[in-house]
Amino acid sequence: MQRIFSTTVLDGGTIDLTSGWNVKQPEANATDLEPSMTRASRAVASPRVVSIADLRPLARRRLPKAVFDYLDGGADGEVTLRENCRVYEDVTFRPRHAVALPQCDLRTRVLGFDLALPFLLAPVGYSRLMHPGGEVAAARAAGKAGTAYILSTLSGHRLEDVKAGSSGPVFYQLYLMGGRAASEAVIERAKAAGFSALVVTIDTAVSGMRERDFRNGMKELISGNIFAKIPFLPQVLECPSWLWAFLLDGGIRPLANVVVPGQGPMPLVDITAALASAAVTWADLRWIRELWRGPIVVKGVLTGDDARRAVDEGAAAISVSNHGGRQLDSVPASLRALPEVVAAVKGQTEILLDGGIRRGTDIAKAICLGARAVLCGRAYAYGLAAAGRAGVDRVLALLRQDIERTLRLLGAATLEEVDSTLVRVPADWRR
Ligand SMILES: Cc1cc2nc3c(=O)[nH]c(=O)nc-3n(C[C@H](O)[C@H](O)[C@H](O)COP(=O)(O)O)c2cc1C
């Protein structure tokens, strides 16, 4: 009976068709970590790919609809998601022309780390569903480009492998999933593995209502039994190259870093419920600080009040963020919330920003308005989904060229010169 319902894949692993598509095999190697000249990597290297917007359709073509929409979508009516990108149009530049700039220096310091670029890679959950290289591939690309990578709690790769894969600083994003004992265990592992900072996300009291995920059967596809999956399977079968890579990588994997003591890694079932009991409070943050004792970034700040509270609770940095429009819809775009936060913090902690970053001009505008650096989410996830490591390399190269060109056109030789004198903002933003 067992033989009828299982099939052997290339390297000797076995797909257990009775349980959905978990694949029983040893810890799979993250494939395609080094860019090789596959069709996908040739597509992202094409001279026609000149912006992040050109990578999005490549990601869409390779991924099943459910996975693409998980990456691309936002909460409710996606008002904040759209506004996060649109808002950059409200800010215009006031460049300094006729300035000779033999060199342009893109280096900055975040939490005491020298970065070659003013952007980091944001935590993006389930990256391994987008491409088998997943979190390891993204961290490796970030390290090679001289910047930092932030690993999501919702990772398919072990945090030790992600850290070992990168030559740059790696931060760990913490949800209190699996309870305090599991969180204590992962904090100890992150410390031992050499993670440089903890990023504590505070905007996830429950998971946002991502309507596209419900329509596409995302929950059924990743956690249901085979019968629950059947109605949603056609979209997956339409993407054979993604499906093949996914099965070879071991299929649906548990959350490698959420290990409840005595129970092993948490399976991907009922993530919404797990997140609902993982909300972080200021009291939790104090407890986390005691355990971690290194720098903490509070991610998900949108008001001056929360920013002040984060400073008082000892945050080394905050990220002005609305989770890429994936949590509470109709909150302001991150860039719009930045001036209030900058005014409240009064230089007492570093300020990062994430949300809607797709171009070098977006990065420059955020820095002009007071961010030390920005985090990119979907921008690099599109590249990862399109072509794994090669796709992330391409995104990082595009954004680097973009920000360097922007600085030259602004007449700024260094990031210190990128300040509020270089932008014009709507009058009510300054209040
Ligand atoms: C597919 C996806 C998964 C995400 N997963 C996480 C996560 O696990 N933890 C977290 O703090 N933020 C997560 N985020 C939010 C990002 O860290 C970041 O705040 C957001 O992507 C920034 O907006 P952008 O995508 O427009 O750049 C996720 C974002 C996306 C697109």
Distance 4 CA to ligand 1 centre (A): 41
Residue 6 confidence (pLDDT): 37
The verdict on the CB of residue 325 being under 6 Å from ligand 1 is no
**Least reliable range by pLDDT among 273-282, 344-353, 406-415:** 273-282
Residue 5 confidence (pLDDT): 34
Distance 174 CA to ligand 1 centre (A): 13
Centre a 10 Å sphere on the Cβ of residue 53 and count the other Cβ atoms it contains: 13
User: Ligand 1: which atom is nearest the Cα of residue 299?
Assistant: 11
Whole-number Å distance between alpha carbons of 244 and 252: 13
Residue 113 pLDDT exceeds 60? yes
Distance 276 CA to ligand 1 centre (A): 17
Mean pLDDT of 246-271: 90
The verdict on the CB of residue 125 being under 6 Å from ligand 1 is yes
Whole-Å CA distances, 57 to 70, 243, 343 = 15, 18, 39
Task: Kindly state the greatest CA–CA separation across the chain.
Answer: 78
User: Ligand 1: which atom is nearest the Cα of residue 122?
Assistant: 17
The verdict on the CB of residue 71 being under 6 Å from ligand 1 is yes
Q: Are strands 350-354 and 373-376 parallel, antiparallel or unpaired?
A: parallel
Helix (H) or strand (E) holding 130, with range, is helix 127-130
Three-state secondary structure of 307-370: HHHHHHCCCCEEEECCHHHCCCCCCCCHHHHHHHHHHHHCCCCEEEEECCCCCHHHHHHHHHCC
56's CB contacts (< 8 A; 6+ apart) are 72, 382
Q: 221-247, pLDDT tens digit by residue?
A: 988 789 999 999 999 999 999 999 999
Whole-Å CA distances, 414 to 108, 109, 338, 364, 395 = 9, 12, 21, 11, 22
Spatial CA neighbour of 137 closest among 125, 126, 128 = 128
Could you tell me if 256 and 265 are in contact, meaning their C-beta atoms sit under 8 angstroms apart? yes
User: Ligand 1: which atom is nearest the Cα of residue 354?
Assistant: 22
**Computed from CA positions of residues 265, 162, 325, 44, in that sequence, does the dihedral angle turn out positive or negative?**
negative
Residue 8 pLDDT exceeds 50? no
4's CB contacts (< 8 A; 6+ apart) are none
Whole-number Å distance between alpha carbons of 341 and 431: 12
Confidence of residue 66 (pLDDT cuts 50, 70, 90): very high
The verdict on the CB of residue 173 being under 6 Å from ligand 1 is yes
* DSSP letter assigned to residue 254: -
Nearest CA to ligand 1 atom 11: 201
The verdict on the CB of residue 84 being under 6 Å from ligand 1 is yes
Strand pairing partners for 7?
15
Residue 431 pLDDT exceeds 80? no
Residue 101 confidence (pLDDT): 92
User: Ligand 1: which atom is nearest the Cα of residue 324?
Assistant: 23
Helix (H) or strand (E) holding 56, with range, is helix 52-62
Mean pLDDT of 30-55: 82
Per-residue burial over 278-298, b = 16 or more CB atoms within 10 Å of its CB, e = otherwise:
bebeeebbeebbeebebbbbb
Nearest CA to ligand 1 atom 3: 124
Residue 19 pLDDT exceeds 50? no
Whole-number Å distance between alpha carbons of 316 and 318: 7
Q: 162-202, pLDDT tens digit by residue?
A: 999 999 999 999 999 999 999 999 999 999 999 999 999 99
Could you tell me if 65 and 235 are in contact, meaning their C-beta atoms sit under 8 angstroms apart? yes
Residue 427 confidence (pLDDT): 94
The secondary structure of the chain in percent helix, strand, coil, rounded to multiples of 5, reads: 45, 15, 40
Mean pLDDT of 118-140: 98
Residue 22 confidence (pLDDT): 55
Nearest CA to ligand 1 atom 2: 124
Residue 102 confidence (pLDDT): 87
The verdict on the CB of residue 128 being under 6 Å from ligand 1 is no
Amino acid residing at 137:
A
User: Ligand 1: which atom is nearest the Cα of residue 376?
Assistant: 27
Quote the mean pLDDT of the chain. Answer: 91
Distance 97 CA to ligand 1 centre (A): 36
Distance 377 CA to ligand 1 centre (A): 5
Distance 357 CA to ligand 1 centre (A): 12
Whole-Å CA distances, 210 to 153, 357, 415 = 19, 20, 36
Residue 4 pLDDT exceeds 90? no
Residue 430 confidence (pLDDT): 78
Quick one: what percent of the chain has pLDDT higher than 70?
A: 91
Could you tell me if 263 and 255 are in contact, meaning their C-beta atoms sit under 8 angstroms apart? no
The verdict on the CB of residue 321 being under 6 Å from ligand 1 is yes
| Enzyme catalytic residues | 323
Whole-Å CA distances, 407 to 76, 98, 115, 264, 373 = 36, 13, 17, 49, 14
The verdict on the CB of residue 356 being under 6 Å from ligand 1 is yes
Confidence of residue 413 (pLDDT cuts 50, 70, 90): very high
Whole-Å CA distances, 146 to 55, 108, 115, 261, 397 = 22, 11, 6, 36, 11
Report the predicted TM-score, pTM, of the whole model to 2 decimal places.
0.93
Whole-number Å distance between alpha carbons of 382 and 370: 27
Pocket test for ligand 1, best of 172, 186, 201, 323 (most atoms within 8 A of CB): 323
Residue 15 confidence (pLDDT): 43
Confidence of residue 265 (pLDDT cuts 50, 70, 90): very high
Distance 123 CA to ligand 1 centre (A): 6
157's CB contacts (< 8 A; 6+ apart) are 30, 128, 134, 135, 136, 256
Spatial CA neighbour of 373 closest among 148, 151, 198 = 148
User: Ligand 1: which atom is nearest the Cα of residue 153?
Assistant: 8
Residue 366 confidence (pLDDT): 99
Half-sphere exposure of residue 178, counting CA atoms within 13 Å on the CB side? 26
Residue 33 confidence (pLDDT): 56
336's CB contacts (< 8 A; 6+ apart) are 83, 87, 90, 429
Mean pLDDT of 328-342: 98
Residue carrying the six token digits 């700040």? 301
Distance 381 CA to ligand 1 centre (A): 9
